[in-house]
Amino acid sequence: MLMLDRRSAVPLAEQIEAGLRALIEAGRLAPGVRLTSIRQLAAQLAVSPNTVVSAYDRLMADGVIESRGTAGYFVCETGPAWVHDGLLEAGEEQDAVWLAQQSHDQPAGVLLASSGALPPAWLEDAVPASLVHRALAQCVGGMAARCPPQGLPALRERLAMLMRSNGVAVDASRVLTTQGGTQAIDLICRALLQPGDAVVVEDPGYHLLFGRLRQARVRIVPVARGPEGLDLQQLEAACIEHRPRLMFVQSVLHNPTGWSCSAANLHRVLMLAERHDVLIAEDDAHGQLHPGQPTRLAQLSGLARVVYYSSFCKVLSPALRMGWLAAEPELLKPLLREKMYSILTTPALNEQVLLQVLSTGRLRKHIERLQQKLGLARVVAARQLRQAGIVLDHPAEGGLWLWGRVPDGVDLGLLTRDAYRNGILLAGGTTFRAEPAPADGHLRFNVVYSQHVRLAEYLSQRLQAVQAASAALGRLAAAGSASSS
């Protein structure tokens, strides 16, 4: 039985983690043993379920325990040791596709400190099995059911209602379902761009977008992204010089920085887009995690000149792979055609499951829980990263990311490679740049995984070693200068 010291300065989640780790290392919880469920352990210890979730998350990140879906949590059979499997060729680390793969492969024992995903434990209760069974019963024809290419009418109406709750005036006829935000980007590239077109992107920005645009053989035009939004002077200059066909913008909880655009910045972006006849693709894949009421381009424009897209893959279920986009009819029609050319339609069962989630009100409650958990994780992660030597110039106001900077003199390439070989995934700023930027000293931090003491200890040790080496070199240089004089 675990014992907690409620007078201790050590947080309860860390006490639970340490206690379970000690039981496992002592052999009292053998490999393969099923752990007490989150709710049961929370009741036994008189703590909140979130506290137990945090402890389990830390142990999972270290490869000590594993989640087996509805079966529960089990002590890992092979222990927490992590060995590089050698399947990746040299130089592939920090590649955008490689980084995304890590989030989905979730290799055992690797602390996904820069991952783009929430821990599986945070999403397990979002779509219960009973709801999936109910959705299957609603499919006319069962597993032989077909889905309209634009999406189930009832689901599209629910998605339109969701958008209207965010101030975006839209009806179901302007909504198209997709297999996540990645497919929405692909459809936009296929339907709205031609080789040679100029496309404005945020810099830094979403790392997988740049590769897809290169596949489309368009001209990528980077514009600096700051805490308030796009650099308006750079954007206007880019519009005059390059006459872009399209620009991609993440208005809310930008990836990788976590920043959200100000309303004033978005107004100016819309004015420039109208003046220079530029379409806007607004990426809102993370917007649901914002704890407030942020402003969106689609809200300000009423979808005029804006193709809006979002996803449930991050916040609800990566297994469903469901998202959607919304646009005016003249833009939606070619997007629908490209969807039919590529996949014909999204799966009817997936759409029915999502419809059940939206119809029962589960999504709102689930999102509120995620926002609360992320808020707590953000405080802990920011404190520990700062103590380890990471500079957080403009911490985001919500969501999954913190955009941190290492001290001057740190070779970020060496740091990220060394971290990975020590079982810690760190993504450097160059991964999120539209063009090579070897001097970028930033790291993207996932606030959930970056709470772990293991990351803080690693960064503190490495950064202190670099600072000590720099100081020693400085003393040698000073001594050499003094002797020569």
Least confident piece of the model among 296-300, 335-339, 434-438 = 434-438
Nearest Cα neighbor of 399 from 445, 454, 459, 456 is: 445
Enter the tokens of residue 231: 């650099």
Phi then psi for 119, rounded to 5 degrees?
-60, 145
Residue 80 pLDDT: 43
Residue-wise pLDDT tens digits, 359-379 = 988 999 999 999 999 999 999
Given a cut of 60, is residue 85 above it in pLDDT?
no
pTM of the model: 0.83
For residue 288, what are its two tokens? 């649901």
Chain segment 119-159, per-residue pLDDT in tens: 888 998 899 888 989 998 888 777 878 899 999 999 999 99
Pick the residue with more confidence: 40 or 240? Answer: 240
Sequence-ordered list of residues with C-beta below 8 angstroms from that of 328, at least 6 positions apart, any chain: 174, 303, 304
Residue 375: CB atoms within 10 A of its CB come to 14
Give the span between the Cα atoms of 204 and 434, in whole angstroms: 7
Q: How far is CA 450 from the centre of its chain?
A: 13
- Which of left, alpha, beta for 160 (phi over 0: left; psi -120 to 50: alpha)? alpha
Q: Give the pLDDT confidence of 154-188 residue by residue, as tens digits.
A: 999 999 999 999 999 999 999 999 999 999 999 99
Distance CA 222, CA 227 (A): 16
Cβ within 8 Å of residue 396, ≥6 positions away: 253, 257, 258, 259, 260, 378, 402, 403
Predicted pLDDT of residue 92:
58
How far from 379 is each of 153, 175, 227, 387, CA to CA, in Å? 41, 37, 19, 12
Confidence of residue 53 (pLDDT cuts 50, 70, 90): confident
Q: Which residues does 231 contact at the CB level (< 8 Å), separation at least 6?
A: 223, 224, 225
Q: Give the per-residue pLDDT at 251.
A: 97
* Nearest residue to 109 (alpha-carbon basis) of 151, 80, 68, 141: 80
Q: What are phi and psi of 260, to 5 degrees?
A: -120, 140
Return the CATH superfamily for domain 97-118+365-478.
Aspartate Aminotransferase, domain 1 (3.90.1150.10)
The mean per-residue pLDDT over the stretch 438-462 comes to 91
> Amino acid identity of 23?
L
**CB burial readout 430-460, b (16+ within 10 A) else e:** bbbbbeebeebbbbbbbbbbbbbebbbebbb
Please give the DSSP secondary-structure letter assigned to residue 288: G
The pLDDT of residue 91 is 44
Using CA atoms, how far apart are residues 365 and 73, in angstroms rounded to an integer? Answer: 24
| pLDDT tens sequence across 238-268 | 999 999 999 999 999 999 999 999 999 999 9
Whether pLDDT at 485 is above 70 = no
Q: What value does the mean pLDDT of the chain take?
A: 89
275: burial class by Cβ within 10 Å (0-12, 13-18, 19+)?
exposed
pLDDT interval class at 337 (50, 70, 90): very high
Nearest to 247 by CA among 277, 212, 286: 277
**In the structure encoding, which two tokens stand for residue 425, read together?**
């995934």
Condensed to tens digits (0 to 9), the pLDDT of residues 406-438 reads 998 898 989 999 999 899 999 999 999 998 776
Q: What is the pLDDT of residue 2?
A: 83
Copy the structure tokens of residue 463: 């950064």
**Domain locations along the chain:** 12-81, 97-118+365-478, 129-360
12-81 is a CATH 3.40.50.10790 domain: no
Q: Which amino acid is at 78?
A: T
Q: How confident is the model at residue 222 (pLDDT cuts 50, 70, 90)?
A: very high
| Residue 39: strand, helix, or coil | helix
Band the pLDDT of 72: cuts 50, 70, 90. confident
Cβ distance 78 to 108 under 8 Å? yes
CA 419, CA 402: separation in Å to the nearest integer? 18
Query: On the CB side of 216, how many CA atoms lie within 13 Å of its CA?
Result: 24
Domain 129-360 is found in CATH 3.40.640.10: yes
* In the predicted structure, residue 79 carries a pLDDT above the cut 50: no
Which tokens hold the place of 455?
Answer: 């990351």
Report strand pairing: 306-311 vs 279-283: parallel
